[in-house]
Structure 1
Amino acid sequence: MYKNKKIIIIQHLLIWLVLFSIPFVLTYGQDLDSNRLIAHFLIPMLFYAIIFYLNFLILIDKFLFSNKTVVFILINLVIIGFFILMKEFIEDNYFAELIKKRPPEDNREGPRFKLFLYVQMLSYAAPLLFSIAIKTTKRWVKTEAEKKEADNFKLQTELQHLRYQLQPHFFFNSLNNIYSLVDISPEKAKSTIHSLGKLMRYLLYETNTEFVPLSKEIEFMRKYIDLMKLRLTDKTEIESSFPVSQNGIQIAPLLFISLIENAFKHGVSANKNSIISIDMTIKGNIVDFTIENHNFPKQDNDKSGSGIGLANLEKRLQLLYPNKHTFEKELKAGVYRVNLKIETN
């Protein structure tokens, strides 16, 4: 911040240096009338600077931005009027020779005086308007930056909430699966608990960043699919295909697991044959994920899962990949199909 203030001060000094140098640059190599230069340029320029900084540093914040517009206008009219009179006073008392040199027709009565006053008011209003423009722009930039920071904080808070919401959801769904194995196959239940421990380690310690390598997500999904296979009978066939090379693609964690959970929850039947097909491909920077499963609606007495998985996913996609994803769901001829495409950069 200190460096920024120093840069701003230097910028202001350079701008005024350029402005005060204009007459010297324009008349380079010519004789300068120093009295005319002082009276008609340097003194007005000094007054312009005073008007500018009075407004820029004090009056705009104190009155204009505090909705005291009438007071702000009146104060500036008084200041401008004072400087016009001061300029005339200085010219009359210290630069009388310039007045004598004015052509006879340049009298200040009637319309000519009104025109003179109008031009003077406009010239002194210029630094006022310029200070308002700069101050308003700075305020707008600051407001936008604060708004962006607030939006970003809100986004991160909501994402963190969704992530914390997903973890227990995933954990309880997995526990339900293990519970179903305890009586049927205790050895499988033990193996499942061990596998679940590895999955939870990834959930807790490796997904707390905004993005993770796609390769880690694929490894996590493979382990989860293997975990789910332990409780399946030979009536359910699992087909899965993942890309071998991901070219260093980074992606938000835990986007696909809800879809896989959903497929195992609704695509498995105890007495009917079924297929769960999972396919992921990479086309350039687009990750294309498709999953299909036979649809066996849950019974009313089935309390597995909380139903928040897909809703959670859709919210996260909207926050993380606005206008950079497509999410399509379709139920046709008893087969539920979901396609998710994500543009990763």
Structure 2
Amino acid sequence: MQQATPQIRDKRAIDLLFESRYKVLRHIMLWVILLGIIFFSNWLKEYIGTVKLLRLLCVHISFIAMFYINMYVLVPRFFFRGQYALYFLFLLLLVSLGLFLMSGVLTKYLDPLRLAEVRQQAADDTGFYEGIIIVMPIILMTTAFSLFERWKTDNQRITELSNLTLSMELSELRNQINPHFLFNMLNGIKALVRSNPEKATMVIMKLSEFLRYQLYENNEPGTPLRSEIKFLSNFMDLEKLRRDNLSVNITSMADPKLLGTLLIPPNLFTTFAENAVKHSVDISDSPSYICMSVEVKGERLEFTCRNSRSVDYVAPREGSSGLGLPNIKRRLSLLYGTDYRLDISTTEKEYTVILNIPI
């Protein structure tokens, strides 16, 4: 049987201290520790009598009462609300009242019996100031524990809220990609319906297959690299049906096994493919090209997209409906933080995008 690693042991210790499912166990451990203190205090001071045991038990029960009142009343009611002056005032009153009541019980009920049993030990009483010295560290430890427990709970809530917000924002960004893509495709089909109805029918059929993939893959957190490359290939096939002068080349430089097992966020390259289509349009109907490659370099994945660029063509500016590059940049930032590189360069005849991400 394998032994637990130090990290696992540390996690178990932290869970035992702060997880709600161990709450009852923590209280039982507290009582056991206090009973141990009672036993050893009695043994070390050589007080064997039953009355002395009752005396110590009374003292520690009083401390436990102050322990719980501080932890479940004073700390949440005053300390957590920033009312520190009131907290320390009521804490002082709690300790004073607790010690006063404890002293009264001991004096009235136990001291006469103790004095009758062991008269020579009459001077050995727990005084008021000695009681403060004993109880204050316990009270302050409960305050520190409550504060740390509150911090841990709040931190968990903040983390959960951040993850939920991140998930919702990523979902929204993914959902924005599809309408943007559809807007471009439907505009192209609209033109084909008038000029070439037969080709328009083929485009619609291809588009239905394309959207079927989108429906099932886009909602997953990750899709195989091979599927994403196939997705790009289908996308380019749609474009070639609309444009006779478009040449497309898609290559992958990676282990075939890795293509099926490596997962990446769905539609990660779609925006770049859309931009390549947009920038490769040549108003003179000259041949245009789009070249895309996917390469695995150690622990990194590099996607490159190059496309021809017409000197006379001015691509539409990204406006209210232009969700492409700002969208994908925001998505990359959410997914990878700063651990990615996106280089976009433009020359007179070519537009190039290089995306490098961790895998």
Q: How far does residue 91 in structure 1 lie from its aligned partner after superposition?
A: 5.0
Match of 1:331 in 2: 346
Q: Which residue in 2 is equivalent to 1:147?
A: 158
65-74 or 6-15: bigger deviation: 65-74
**For structure 2, which runs of at least 5 residues remain unmatched after alignment?**
1-18
**What residue in structure 2 maps to residue 120 of structure 1?**
131
Instruction: Give the Å deviation of 1:38.
Output: 4.7
From 20, 33, 45, the counterpart of 2:60:
45
1:267-307 Cα shifts (integer Å, max 9, x gaps): 23143444321000223453211111223375478999943
> Is contact 2:42-2:53 (8 Å) kept?
no
State the distance in 2 between where 1:240 and 1:138 align: 54
Does the 8 A contact of 1:52 with 1:130 survive in 2?
no
The residue that corresponds to 1:173 in the other structure is 184
State the alpha-carbon separation in 2 of the partners of residues 151 and 302 from structure 1.
33
Map 1:305-320; keep pairs closer than 5 Å. Answer: 306-320=321-335
> What secondary structure does 2:94 align onto?
helix
- Give the match for residue 172 of structure 2: 161
Q: How does 1:5-24 map to 2 (within 5 A)?
A: 7-22=22-37, 24=39
| Stretch moving more, 284-293 or 219-228 | 284-293
Preserved CA contact (<8 Å) 1:49 1:127? no
Post-superposition CA distance 1:197-243 (Å, at most 9, x none): 11112223331122222222221111111111223344x43221035
Q: Say which structure is richer in helix.
A: 2
Seen in structure 2, the aligned counterparts of structure 1 residues 26 and 334 have a Cα distance that, compared at 3 Å, is farther
| Contact preservation (8 Å) 1:325, 1:342 | yes
Aligned to 1:250: 263
Match for 2:310: what amino acid?
Answer: F
Correspondent of 2:247 among 219, 225, 237: 237
Match of 1:261 in 2: 274
Deviation, 1:151, is 1.6
Alignment of 1:9-158 (within 5 A): 9-22=24-37, 24=39, 32-34=47-49, 35-36=51-52, 38-39=54-55, 41-90=56-105, 92-93=107-108, 94-95=110-111, 97=115, 100-101=120-121, 119-158=130-169
Moved more, 292-301 or 150-159: 292-301
**5+ residue gaps, structure 1:** none
Q: Does 1:277 align with 2:287?
A: no
User: Normalising by the residue count of structure 2, what TM-score does the alignment of the two structures yield?
Assistant: 0.79
Which residue identity does 2:183 align to in structure 1? F
CA shift, 1:308, in A, is: 1.4
Instruction: Please state whether the residue corresponding to 1:230 is helix, strand or coil.
Output: helix
TM-score, normalised relative to structure 1: 0.82
Shift >6 Å, 4+ stretches: 26-30, 300-305
Higher deviation after alignment, 167-176 or 315-324: 315-324
Q: Percent identity?
A: 28
Following TM superposition, by how much is the alpha carbon of 1:321 offset from its aligned partner in structure 2, in angstroms? 2.2
1:296: which partner in 2? 310
In structure 1, give the amino acid aligned to 2:76.
Answer: D
User: Structure 1's 88 and 100: CA in aligned 2 closer, same or farther, altered over 3 A?
Assistant: farther
Aligned to 2:3: none
Separation in structure 2 between the aligned mates of residue 117 and residue 261 of structure 1, nearest angstrom: 81
Aligned length: 330
Alpha-carbon distance, 1:196 to partner: 0.9
> Following the alignment from structure 1 to structure 2, what is the Cα–Cα distance between the partners of residues 261 and 295?
14
Question: In structure 1, the residue corresponding to 2:305 is in which secondary structure?
Answer: strand
Partners of 1:117 and 1:147 in 2: how far apart?
A: 44
**What's the Cα RMSD here?**
3.3
**Are 2:216 and 1:201 equivalent residues in the alignment?**
no
CA distance in 2, matches of 1:122, 1:304: 71
The Cα offsets for residues 72-107 of structure 1, whole Å up to 9 and x where unpaired, read as 22222122112333444455453364785478xx9x
- Please name the residue that 1:212 is paired with: 223
- Structure 1, 77-86 or 303-312: larger mean CA deviation: 303-312
SS at match of 1:254: coil
Residues 139 and 302 (structure 1 numbering): CA distance in 2 closer, same or farther, change over 3 Å? closer
